[in-house]
Structure 1
Amino acid sequence: MQLLSSEDLEALYVIAEQMSGKEGLRLQKLLPKEVKDLNDMFWMEFEEMRETLENEGRWFPEWNSLLRNIEVRYAPVVEVTSISNTDDIYGSEEGLTIEKIFEVIPGTPGEMKSLRRRVLENDLFRNSFFSEDGRRTGIFVELAMDEDDSEILYSTYIALERIFEENPGIDKHYIAGFPIVAATLRTVIDQDTQRFFPFVALLAVFFLWLTFRRPSGVAVPMLVVGFSILFTLAIMVVFEVPLNTITSALPVFLISIGVADGIHMFSEYRENRIEGLPREKAVCLMLDKLALPVTMTSITTAVGFLSLTVSDIVPIFTFGIFVAVGTLLAMVLSLIFIPALLMVLPEKVSASQEGSGTDENLSSGVHQVNFMDRLFQKSLDVMTAWVLRNARPVLLAALAISAISIYGLSQVKVESSLESYFQADAPLVIANRAMEKMSGSHTINIVITKSGEEEPWKNPDNLKVVEEFQEFLANEPRVKRTLSLVDLIKRISYAFNENRKEFNRLPNGFEFLESEEIFEENGQTEKRTVKREISGRDLIAQYLVLYENSGGDVLSDVVDSEYLNLNLAVTISSNSTTEEEKLLQSIEDYAVRQFPQGFSMTSSGMVPINVATSNEVVTSQIRSLSGSILAVFLMLALIFRSVSRGLMGMIPLVFTVLFNFGVMGFFGVHLDIGTALVSSIVIGIGVDYSIHYLSSMFHELAVGTELHDAISNTVRRSGKAITSNAVTVGFGFLALSVSEFLPLVTLSWMIWLTLNISALATMILIPALAVTLTDVLKLVPSQND
């Protein structure tokens, strides 16, 4: 199987042109016209040229990575192992025999039955090449590429599927492992990037039009957002940051976040125009009032997302960085281009207004309050009036909801399962389930060492410790199979002793070997059975020498060449990191309790990786959440020059975060790589609402407005912008619900819910706090005016 393409052949021609001297000309002549003609002979001659150039110092190091990829695509498969080419160990008249299970495919039912019995009786094959019921068999393909090379893995999966299509049979086949994971993720990323951007853009346009009912109200924010996305993706390209399942959602986040500044700025500009101000004056007042809040909200949003960089999970780390970068770019573009666009974009006026001749006379006619504006504003006024009348009960209700949410938080479970990330009918899920039934789909590689002894894994006493360990593991519900040097030695012992089942065991400390020898006495020969004592260590050493001399080649899979490190492979059937963590803990506890002095072990493989990733989700959530809350509080305290006012701005955010975890706990939403993002996102975006609301309210108080009137004016000028922002941004995130990557689907509705809760909490809790703790917060109108 080859994965070479015409691009690879073109790359080789480029290298030939860059080579100097006769080697370059030789390579050009050697290169074929068709990529299919790149054969072993070509690569042998190419390797000779490479050695010559390296010895002469004329080989460019930058060619290495390119050639590595080409060579991997030329020979992507290292080894294929199946029942058709694996070796069986058994005893024969010649002694220990190691050969393929069959040379010729069985052609009769009797031959098939004999083969099946032979395979199922071999402990080395059980739940590996065959399932226990004998209905499933496995073909194991060792690949040459790195496990994180998703592009080549994807090509490998497509090539394997093509082989099955070209050679159809009556049996079903399933492809599991990294190629199918890479293929599924690659497909999801491609589909998501094609779906997300147009869908969320249409949603943003729709809600902007619903809010402002003017082309400029749509065009101004969308232009800013479009350029911020373009610049952010360009930066990713420059730094060679690939899209993954998380960063593929970047356009959704940047549209949803970037449009927020435009909503606030255009809303303020529109209010100024409705009040009759000319265009230039309206723009200047807009900047005077919103330049600082827009700057601060963008910085705090960026800080919220940068808190995700404390995670060791690379997709979350890169996501946090580039959302923060995009947010700051959107801020700069908003402060520069929105005022400029508002000054130059034409404003449609009616024919009756065109004759008035002045911008001042046109302003109120161009931007008029429509029925929807009045209805929306009336609803906000009614809500605010009710909050001001019932401030204490509102705060008590918020405390009660927070207490209930804290209980829900205690019920949140951490779970990270690859199968749960996709729909039940996804090829990955179907293949994974088939693999579970046959041999399990996750592995733990346990390396056991014994100090203070030379070649400890030839000592039967040490091996019996491992055997007992394997017996313990076999009783664990999720363990499908274990394999170690112990199993290999037991099989050799069985074969060496004429395939007698009683010898399918480890040697004891001392053994008696029986052999028939010929003795001559008084001119007569006689056969006698002779017993010789041999130590178990020496017998094991002889077994292993005999095994290698007979052609055995799997010894290096179970022990190193110095017999210091024994590898125990454990295959399990599990799709739950909670269960996997319990199993790992059970293994650790057993080692502490049962391993003799001098024994130690380390675990690696997919299961420890899954558990470590799951635990990292929790620790990074705690770090990022703590960091973002602290950073945002400090920013608010600096912005409003008051610790108490900073705390006032934090209360809606903390309430929303608790509400988020409460929802997760009560509705059984697990904390995973997707939901771990929600709290930091809500803090990063929700702080905008607090800043805009408090900035407007403090501005009203600064000009001498009485507190209740200041709150009413704040709701009139900022309430609609906050609500429109939450609705637009929230529905923008709902675009993620079209993804086939289920964590993004969960992320979409949770962000939609929590953003709207955050907006409501801002417009309910802040005024309730203001009228309840007026003296504490020093919310007294200024007497300067």
Structure 2
Amino acid sequence: MARWIEGMLRHPRAVIAGAVLLSLLGALGITRIEIDDRLEALLPPDMESLVVWHEIEEIFGTTEPIVVAAGREGASIWDPTTLRTVDQLRARLEELPEVDSVTGITNANHLIASDFGFEVGPLLEMERLEEPGYLQAARGALGGNEMLQALVSEDEAYTLLLVTLRVDADEVAAGPAIQRVIDTLEPELDVHVAGTPFFLGVIAEEIRGDVLSLVRFVFLVLFLVVLLSLRSLKGALLTMAVIALTAMTTLGLMGWTGNKFTVANTSMPIVLLAIASADSIHIITHFLRRLRARGDAREAAAETVRHLMLPVLLTSVTTALAFLSLIGSPITVLGPYGYLTAIGVGWAWVLSATFLPCLLSISRWPAHGAVRGGQAALRTFWSRLAGVVIRRRVAITGIATLLVVASALGVPRVLVEVSMTSMLSPESTLRQASSFLDERFSAGSNLSLLVTGDLYDPALLEDMLDVEAFIEGEEGVGHARSIADLVASMNKAFNGEDPAFERIPETREAVAQLLLLYSFSGDPADLERFVTTGYDRAQISVQMESLSTQRVSRMVDDLKRYLEAEKPGLRAAPTGFAVFLRDLVPLVVRSSVTSVIVALIIMVLVAGIAFRSARLGILTVVPLGATVVLLFGIMGWTGIPLSHVNALMAAIAIGVGVDYAIHFVAAYQRQGNAGRRREERVTGALMEVGPPVAFNALSVGGGFAVLLASRFVPISFLGGLVTFAMIVSALGALILIPSLLLMGREKAATRPVPSDAERPVSE
């Protein structure tokens, strides 16, 4: 190693140029990054509900409409001017290239009894709106049609436009395009827009903008914290150079490997910025200490690399392994998140072990006295802290145990929330629009069932109506509609609008006759939305509120139990974004639990092997385990939900927090090499690594604290929770581990005394 260090520092400019060149080559991949804002991108491709959803989309097109409510509060939608403006809005929306169709009361069809049985005609003829009694008759026709009733609010102040996007439409482009059309008519109409596709498009765009602004703020905060910690402008600038090169290279690698940027991994740039500072802070802190003692920058850089190579390598390996534990996550996008971040950690180590020492060795540094300022005060603080730990070790261990037990009781109370609306603050315009649509129409979301069988069979159609009635009885569900409703309406119209005949005909032939009659005068698209041309597959479309994940899960579970118990012969498979949310819940829980268990086991093994001590390996993960329990306990007791965004917090907490424990244990072991007593070793270790660990926790915690300013609730929660984790992990490494090491009988030191190159430099 000595030869390698000497060779590296003999050609520092070549090493620096090589590191920068490789980083820039990697960064070129940033231009190749693609964005995937689909919720289904989080799900395993073979998940049943996703497979069924793709089948429905292939047969019937997009099943999740964008929902537009238009009208005037306190007014009536049955006003000729208002209806013309609504129809104008419908026509403009239909002209957008992303839009397949727009359905509303101004272009909806209804059944009219005739001498031939029934005919299909428009509910409203726009040129007849001013005719006396015409709108009153249209209102009556609407009142007799349950499928059309869903398009008008109960107070008749608002009407719905259901905007169906093309299957291949870009939701990110569609959202702003629809909003621009609405803005042109906003003074004439009060318009509210929601629906899952609109949510996904707008949220994806806003999250990216939010993260980009936060990244700049994080960079600034990290610079200020590092500057205050190191009290060296040059040291802070060199640290930021390592951070920038690490983040650019890793994000570029995302592009080169074809991995896409999703809602779940929007925190990756900020994670990289925060983590990349860890090794640099330890190296520069140690370098400045060596520089004060030696006076020669090149010699100080060489001694720093020799002294910190093992602990810095070990912390990087354990951090990378913690993120690699995400590879097995059932949430598919977290696998690439894990290994890309692990590669970023590895590249940060390479830069910290080569690029940074070379820069340190060729830089000009101020006189010793200018660098030394404040060191005496720091030594006094850490010495006193060591004294408190030595005297109060039993109390510290007891308090920590009580906190962990109290937190563990809150873990079962943790709720999982992955709905789109939960990502927004209550003051968000988009969330308020969704709440408005939920209140007036129960139309913020959608659920579909794919029904397979003979759709001419009256028994099957009756079963479909029974399923609709059951679903509509669930809290938060609006209207359900299917080919069965249309057949019942046809039968009523065919029999002179007699309400007694609003039911399924008794024979297969009668059903076939009604469908044939409809095809003569109706729009084929009316049937194509609900049933295949071969009448072997149909969909039930359910309009519902933007429910919480818990309510959606209960509703879907109730539906599945009903189908199994009451309709065992009915082949009906539920799907849609509501079902995706329900199916995502166990994936989020399993991902969090698995990553924690795997990461902690890996940490014990790696630390135990590196320190050649099972006891030290276990002690290394004690603060990590305590931190994870405290995190989930606080979430349970305070009601902070677990989501697909903050499911990463455990891996981040373990991956970063293990650094603090390893640096302390490594310093404690080095102190033991000199044959010192436990109390002396604890004091020496705290004085050696206490400052850089504290600075590191401040920089990483400060970086994540910036996320508290995010407009998106899960990202804000992630920032606050990781900040808390950094503080707890640092306290655990610097207070709890020393207390545990001081418990029990002391064993005599058996390791050899270190060489002068290995011995810590006195202050």
TM-score relative to the length of structure 1: 0.80
Q: Structure 1 residues 255 and 162 mapped into 2: Cα distance closer, same or farther (>3 Å)?
A: closer
- Provide the rounded CA distance (Å) in 2 between the counterparts of 1:574 and 1:153: 19
Distance 1:170 1:573, change over 3 A: same
Structure 1, residues 24-77: CA drift from partner, whole Å, max 9, x if none? xxxxxxxxxxxxxxxxxxxxxxxxxxxxxxxxxxxxxxxxxxxxxxxx998432
Aligned to 2:249: 231
User: What is the rounded CA distance, in whole Å, between the counterparts of 2:605 and 2:683 in structure 1?
Assistant: 28
**Equivalent position amino acid for 1:704 in 2:** G
1:141 aligns to what? 163
Match of 2:446 among 443, 450, 455: 443
Provide the C-alpha distance between the structure 2 equivalents of 1:266 and 1:473, rounded to a whole number of angstroms. Answer: 63
SS in structure 1 of the partner of residue 145 of structure 2: coil
Which residue number in structure 1 is paired with residue 613 of structure 2?
A: 642
**Residue in 2 that maps onto 1:218:** 236
Q: Secondary structure at the match of 1:458?
A: coil
Q: Give the drift of 1:551.
A: 2.4
Deviation of 1:390 after TM superposition, in Å, equals 2.2
**Match of residue 556 from structure 2:** 584
The aligned residue for residue 120 of structure 2 is 98
Alignment partners' CA distance in 1, 2:146 and 2:355: 72
1:473 to 462, 466, 471: 471
Aligned-residue offset at 1:547: 1.6
Shift of 1:574: 3.4
- Give 2:544's match in structure 1, choosing from 572, 585, 588: 572
Secondary structure of the corresponding residue to residue 669 of structure 1: coil
1:79 and 2:104 aligned: no
Kept in 1: contact 2:194–2:437 (CA 8 A): yes
Q: Which residue of 1 aligns with 2:42?
A: none
Query: How many angstroms apart in 1 are the aligned matches of 2:616 and 2:481?
Result: 64
The residue that corresponds to 1:37 in the other structure is: none
Report the Cα offset of residue 326 of structure 1.
1.5
The alpha-carbon distance between structure 1 residues 694 and 546, as it changes in their structure 2 partners (threshold 3 A), is: same
Question: Matches of 2:237 and 2:655 in 1, distance apart?
Answer: 25
Match of 2:578, as an amino acid? V
Q: Which residue of 2 aligns with 1:36?
A: none
Change (3 A) 1:83 1:365: same
Q: Secondary structure at 1:401's aligned position in 2?
A: helix
CA deviation digits over 1:95-138, x for unaligned, max 9? 311011122251267433332232132112122x2233322212
Give 1:343-358 correspondences, 5 Å limit: 343-349=361-367
Mapped partners of 2:448, 2:244: distance in 1:
48
Is there any run of 5+ residues in structure 1 with no aligned partner, and where? 1-71, 350-363, 509-535
Task: Say which of 665, 674, 681 aligns to 1:710.
Answer: 681
Q: Using the alignment, how far apart are the partners of 2:186 and 2:237 within structure 1?
A: 55
- Give the match for residue 24 of structure 1: none
1:657/1:679 contact within 8 Å kept: yes
Match of 1:404 among 384, 403, 406: 406
- SS where residue 367 of structure 1 aligns? helix
TM-score, length of structure 2 as denominator length: 0.82
Give the unaligned 5+ runs of structure 2: 1-93, 755-763
Greater Cα shift, 397-406 or 316-325: 316-325
Structure 2 equivalent of residue 378 of structure 1 = 380
Q: Is the 8 A contact 2:330 2:590 kept in 1?
A: no
Structural RMSD (CA): 2.3
1:608 and 1:109 mapped to 2: Cα distance? Answer: 47
Following TM superposition, by how much is the alpha carbon of 1:169 offset from its aligned partner in structure 2, in angstroms? Answer: 4.8
Change (3 A) 1:108 1:324: farther
In the alignment, which residue of structure 2 is the partner of 1:766? 737
Alignment partner of 2:149 out of 108, 114, 126: 126
> What are the residue-to-residue correspondences of 1:400-549 with 2, within 5 Å?
400-436=402-438, 437-449=440-452, 455=454, 457-508=455-506, 536-549=507-520
Q: Tell me the distance in 2 between the aligned counterparts of 1:198 and 1:539.
A: 68
Residue in 2 that maps onto 1:748: 719
Once the two structures are TM-superposed, the CA of residue 773 in structure 1 deviates from its matched residue by 3.8
Residue matched to 2:175: 157
> Counterpart of 2:392?
390
- Is 1:365 aligned with 2:369? yes
Instruction: Identify the residue that residue 666 of structure 2 maps to in structure 1.
Output: 695
Amino acid at match of 1:124: M
Partner SS for 1:202: helix
Partner of 1:328: 346
Q: Paired residue for 1:263?
A: 281
The 5 A counterparts of 1:609-620 are 609-620=580-591
Q: Which amino acid aligns with 1:327?
A: V
Matched residue count: 658
Within 5 Å, which residues of 2 pair with 1:274-353?
274-276=292-294, 278-349=296-367
Q: 1:392 to 1:164 in 2, by over 3 A?
A: closer
Percent of residue pairs identical: 26
Contact preservation (8 Å) 2:403, 2:630: yes
Indicate whether 1:116 and 2:139 are aligned.
yes
Q: Is 1:663 matched up with 2:634? A: yes
Q: Which stretch shifts more, 472-481 or 578-587?
A: 472-481
> Secondary structure at 1:137's aligned position in 2?
strand
1:369-426 CA distances to partner (integer Å, 9 max, x unpaired)?
A: x33x433443332222122122223222222111111101111111222112112333
Distance 1:684 1:205 in 2: 22
Q: In the aligned structure 2, how far is the partner of 1:155 from the partner of 1:73?
A: 14
Contact 1:120 1:130 in 2 (8 A): no
Question: Structure 2: which amino acid aligns with 1:238?
Answer: W
In 2: Cα distance, 1:663 partner to 1:338 partner: 39
Higher deviation after alignment, 539-548 or 724-733: 539-548
State the alpha-carbon separation in 1 of the partners of residues 752 and 325 from structure 2: 41
Which structure has the bigger radius of gyration?
1
Q: How big is each residue's C-alpha offset from its partner over 1:151-179, in whole Å with a ceiling of 9 and x where there is no partner?
A: x3333233323323334553211232355
Cα 1:408–1:701 change in 2 (3 A) is: same
**Aligned partners of 1:405, 1:738: CA distance in 2, in Å?**
26
Q: Which amino acid aligns with 1:503?
A: F
1:639-660 deviation digits (Å, cap 9, x = unpaired) = 1122221101111110111111
- For 2:727 and 2:173, the matched residues in 1 are separated by 43
Q: CA deviation at 1:460?
A: 2.3
Q: Distance in 2 between matches of 1:783 and 1:143?
A: 72
Q: Distance in 1 between matches of 2:590 and 2:394?
A: 36
Three-state SS of the structure 1 residue aligned to 2:168 is coil
Q: Distance in 1 between matches of 2:291 and 2:433?
A: 62
Pair 1:242–1:711, CA change in 2 (3 A): same
Contact 1:693 1:714 in 2 (8 A): yes
Amino acid paired to 2:164: E
Q: Which moves more between the two structures, 185-194 or 466-475?
A: 185-194
Of the structure 1 ranges 198-207 and 100-109, higher mean CA displacement relative to structure 2 is found in 100-109
Residues 109, 253 of structure 1: CA spacing in aligned structure 2 closer, same or farther, 3 A cutoff? farther
Q: CA deviation at 1:696?
A: 0.7
What SS class does the counterpart of residue 675 from structure 2 fall into? coil
Superposed CA offset, 1:594-637 (max 9, x none): 115x3332111111111112321111111211221122222112
Deviation of 1:555 (Å): 2.6
Contact 2:103-2:163 at 8 Å conserved across structures: yes
Query: Post-superposition shift, 1:719?
Result: 0.6
Deviates more, 1:726-735 or 1:619-628: 619-628
Partners of 1:87 and 1:306 in 2: how far apart?
56
Residue 747 of structure 1: how far off its partner (Å)? 0.7
Q: Which of 608, 625, 647 matches 1:654?
A: 625
